[in-house]
């Protein structure tokens, strides 16, 4: 009989831990809602004890999401488990996910504990979590560099204490598929109570084998896989959800299992996550890269036109990728715009629709034709900051061999603030003027990127900036057909985020 593989998404925990991927509460909530639409089984919403911000977002996600289990990570200590429980207790289906390392190197140098102490702590932590909730997951951190016999004892202990899921992480991305297969089969054979828990895997991608290792574990009997959208995560990331899910779907004949994922939500989810972290997919990234379904060579194009399956093993529609056709123009009425947004799967409130309508009409004035990508960019680039400052006006003067000048006017509550500044170029001048208004709130700009959404010289330019103040790094975004305006919007958006805490 075919097995159903549960998808445990850790984009908001392991994914968010990656440098440059931090998100604010509103962004995390939006991703959590999209993960629910994608129909993942478990959302790991964060690591509640790690910061007050993490606690708040796990709590908010727990109260919002109805159709997925919501989990918080906790080390194997009472304090961590208390925080995890407090954060997830409002969820319809809450889970505590507690972990301790089991490899010799971690036990000796990180934990400074003996193997017997780790066994005791495992039993105590799971039993403690179990007092709060019936749904408890236990992870043996660095399992793939652990002694298999000891790992089996730890897993058996965790299940005896009440763990309902036991997770076998390849924390440092060290394993190869054959080892993954062997360890899962070994645990299924040696752990006497293994049938009382789901077996999960959590593979990192340091050697580029996270997806292959995850799939090997599925073949060997794992029933839960932990992954992240776009493969985000510590260092080289985690197994990419879209790769694991589409491999299981496309090779159902080989794996003999299925997932509950609505694959048509894969592309929208991937785009939303990239937009929020201010990154784009490498063009050749499997499933979600721009070239994943592009056929350049004549012989391939000819083959696909004659019969799609000659060179395509999945269809773009399967992952919800819409053809980038022209969709709207200057004369499309409000009704056509509303209908198009609905067709894209968005359900907006009247107020939100008013905002998008205005933006799309404004774009129609600047751009000859509006494509699906333009609409997506406008919707994904919504302002998710507290909006302390808003751009009112700017005026820029620039010429070859002379410094640029920029006047910027921002609105803060009912106050209008205006400054003028010089700069090496128009964007530098604008940013200097904004720094004067905001009292140099941004201490360092770590990154500035611009990319055009579609071709053509009237394309939308999307700007992403990474701003630093103290220890905090935020992503600011702005989009316009005028790249100076997108640059200013991105900077103001980032500054508003810096002001959030």
DSSP string, 246-301: HHHHHTHHHH-EEE---GGGHHHHHHHHHHHHT----TT-TTTSTTTT---SHHHH
Q: Pairing relation of β-strands 402-412 and 415-423?
A: antiparallel
50 by DSSP, 3-state: which? helix
Within residues 67-86, the interface with ligand KIV by CB under 6 A covers: 73
- Note whether 62 and 51 are within 8 A (CB): no
∠12-261-137 over CA atoms, to 5°? 50
Which of the choices Zn ion, ligand KIV, none does residue 62 contact, using the CB cut-off of 5 to 8 A by kind? none
State which residue, 27 or 137, has the beta carbon closest to ligand KIV: 137
Q: Please pick, from the candidates 139, 211, 263, 475, the single residue that binds ligand KIV as defined by CB under 6 A.
A: 139
Contacts with 444 (C-beta within 8 Å, 6 or more apart), sequence order:
467, 468
- The interface partner of residue 200, options being Zn ion, ligand KIV, none and the CB cut-off 5 to 8 Å by kind, is none
Nearer Cβ to ligand KIV, position 233 or 426?
233
Query: Which residues, numbered 19-58, are part of the site for Zn ion (CB under 5 A)?
Result: none
**121 sits near ligand KIV (criterion: CB under 6 A):** no
Among 8, 55, 85, 99, binds ligand KIV (CB under 6 A): 99
Task: Tell the smallest beta-carbon distance from residue 324 to Zn ion (Å).
Answer: 35
Residue 157 binding ligand KIV, by CB under 6 A:
no
What are the tokens at 94?
A: 């809450």
Q: Which range binds ligand KIV by CB under 6 A, 167-175, 210-218, 251-259, 449-457?
A: 167-175
Q: Strand ranges (DSSP E) for 165-239? A: 165-170, 198-203, 224-227
Residues 226 and 167: beta-carbon distance below 8 Å: yes
Binding ligand KIV (rule: CB under 6 A), the pick from 169, 268, 320, 478 is 169
- Tokens 């054959």 belong to which residue? 178
Q: What is the dihedral of CA 59, 204, 446, 499, to 10 degrees?
A: 0
- Identity of the residue, 155 or 327, whose beta carbon is nearer to ligand KIV in the bound complex: 155
Residues whose CB falls within 8 Å of the CB of residue 120, separated by 6 or more in sequence, listed in order: none
- The item of ligand KIV, Zn ion, none sharing an interface with residue 28, based on CB under 5 to 8 Å by kind, is none
Span from 165-173, 291-299, 400-408, 421-429 in contact with ligand KIV (CB under 6 A): 165-173
Taking the C-alpha atoms of residue 281 and residue 269, their distance in angstroms, rounded to an integer, is 12
The item of ligand KIV, Zn ion, none sharing an interface with residue 381, based on CB under 5 to 8 Å by kind, is none
Report what 431 binds from ligand KIV, Zn ion, none; CB cut-off 5-8 Å by kind: none
* By CB under 6 A, residue 141 contacts ligand KIV: yes
Using CB under 5 A as the binding rule, the residues of this chain from 275 to 304 that contact Zn ion are none
The verdict on 14 binding Zn ion (CB under 5 A) reads yes
Q: Where in 76-217 does DSSP place strands (E)?
A: 94-101, 136-141, 165-170, 198-203
Nearer to Zn ion, 118 or 201 (CB): 201
Q: How far is the CB of 123 from ligand KIV (least distance, A)?
A: 18
Q: Please, which residue, 207 or 322, has the CB nearer to Zn ion?
A: 207
Site for ligand KIV in 263-322 (CB under 6 A): none
List the strands of the sheet with 461-469, edge to edge: 444-452, 461-469, 472-480
List the interface residues with ligand KIV, window 199-258 (CB under 6 A).
202, 204
Cβ neighbours for 347, distance < 8 A, ≥ 6 positions apart:
none
d(CA 66, CA 232): 24
Of 146 and 171, the one with the shorter C-beta distance to ligand KIV is: 171
Structure tokens of 214? 């995850």
Q: Which residue has the tokens 């309902």?
A: 164
141 three-state secondary structure = strand
14 lies in the site for ligand KIV, by CB under 6 A: yes
**Residue 141, binding choice from Zn ion, ligand KIV, none, Cβ under 5 to 8 Å by partner class:** ligand KIV
Nearer to ligand KIV, 40 or 360 (CB): 40
Q: Min. distance of Cβ 155 from ligand KIV in angstroms?
A: 14
Among residues 127 and 236, whose Cβ is nearest to Zn ion? 236
Q: Which stretch binds ligand KIV (CB under 6 A): 54-62, 163-171, 358-366, 467-475?
A: 163-171
In the bound state with ligand KIV, the residue whose beta carbon lies nearer, of 167 and 432, is: 167
First-to-last C-alpha distance (Å) of the chain: 51
Q: Is 16 in the site for ligand KIV (CB under 6 A)?
A: no
Instruction: Outline where DSSP puts E strands in 350-443.
Output: 370-371, 389-399, 402-412, 415-423
Which residues share a beta bridge with 462?
451, 479
- The entry of ligand KIV, Zn ion, none near residue 139 (CB within 5 to 8 angstroms by kind) is ligand KIV
**What residues line the site for Zn ion (CB under 5 A)?**
14
* Site residues, ligand KIV (CB under 6 A): 14, 73, 99, 139, 141, 167, 169, 171, 202, 204
């Amino acid at each position: 009989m075919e097995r159903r593989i549960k998808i445990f998404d850790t984009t908001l925990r392991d994914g968010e831990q990656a440098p440059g991927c931090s998100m604010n509460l509103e962004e995390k909530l939006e991703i959590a809602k999209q993960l629910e639409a994608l129909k993942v089984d478990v959302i790991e919403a964060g690591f509640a004890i790690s910061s007050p911000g993490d606690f708040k977002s796990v709590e908010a996600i727990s109260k919002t999401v109805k159709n997925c289990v919501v989990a918080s990570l906790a080390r194997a200590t009472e304090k961590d488990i208390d925080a995890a429980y407090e954060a997830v207790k409002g969820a319809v289906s809450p889970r505590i996910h507690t972990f301790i390392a089991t490899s010799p190197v971690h036990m000796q140098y990180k934990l400074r504990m003996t193997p017997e102490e780790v066994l005791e702590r495992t039993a105590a932590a799971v039993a403690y979590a179990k007092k709060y909730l019936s749904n408890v997951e236990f992870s043996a951190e660095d399992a793939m560099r652990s002694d298999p016999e000891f790992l089996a004892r730890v897993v058996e202990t965790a299940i005896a204490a009440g763990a309902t899921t036991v997770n076998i992480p390849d924390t440092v991305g060290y394993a190869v598929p054959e080892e993954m297969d062997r360890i899962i089969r070994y645990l299924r054979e040696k752990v006497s109570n293994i049938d009382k828990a789901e077996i999960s895997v959590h593979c990192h991608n340091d050697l580029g084998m996270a997806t292959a290792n995850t799939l090997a574990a599925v073949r060997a009997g794992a029933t839960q896989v932990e992954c992240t959208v776009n493969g985000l995560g510590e260092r080289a990331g985690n197994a990419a959800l879209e790769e694991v899910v589409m491999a299981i779907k496309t090779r159902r004949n080989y794996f003999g299992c299925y997932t509950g994922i609505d694959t048509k939500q894969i592309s929208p989810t991937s785009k939303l996550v990239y937009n929020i972290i201010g990154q784009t997919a490498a063009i050749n990234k499997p499933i979600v890269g721009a070239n994943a379904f592009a056929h350049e060579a004549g012989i391939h194009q000819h083959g696909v036109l004659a019969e799609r399956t000659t060179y395509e093993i999945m269809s773009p529609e399967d992952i919800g990728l819409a053809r980038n056709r022209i969709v709207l123009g200057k004369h499309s009425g409000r009704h056509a715009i509303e209908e198009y947004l609905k067709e894209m799967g968005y359900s907006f409130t009247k107020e939100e629709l008013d905002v998008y309508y205005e933006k799309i009409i404004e774009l129609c004035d600047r751009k000859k034709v509006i494509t699906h990508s333009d609409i997506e960019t406008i919707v994904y680039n919504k302002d998710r900051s507290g909006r302390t400052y808003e751009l009112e006006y700017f005026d820029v003067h620039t010429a070859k061999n002379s410094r640029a000048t920029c006047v910027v006017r921002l609105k803060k509550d009912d106050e209008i603030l205006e400054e003028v500044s010089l700069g090496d170029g128009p964007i530098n001048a604008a940013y200097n003027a904004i720094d004067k208004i905001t009292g140099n709130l941004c201490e360092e700009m770590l990154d500035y990127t611009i990319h055009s959404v579609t071709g053509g010289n009237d394309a939308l330019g999307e700007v992403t900036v990474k701003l630093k103040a103290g220890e905090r790094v935020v992503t600011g975004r702005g989009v316009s057909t005028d790249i100076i305006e997108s640059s200013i919007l991105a900077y103001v958006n980032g500054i508003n985020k810096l002001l959030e805490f």
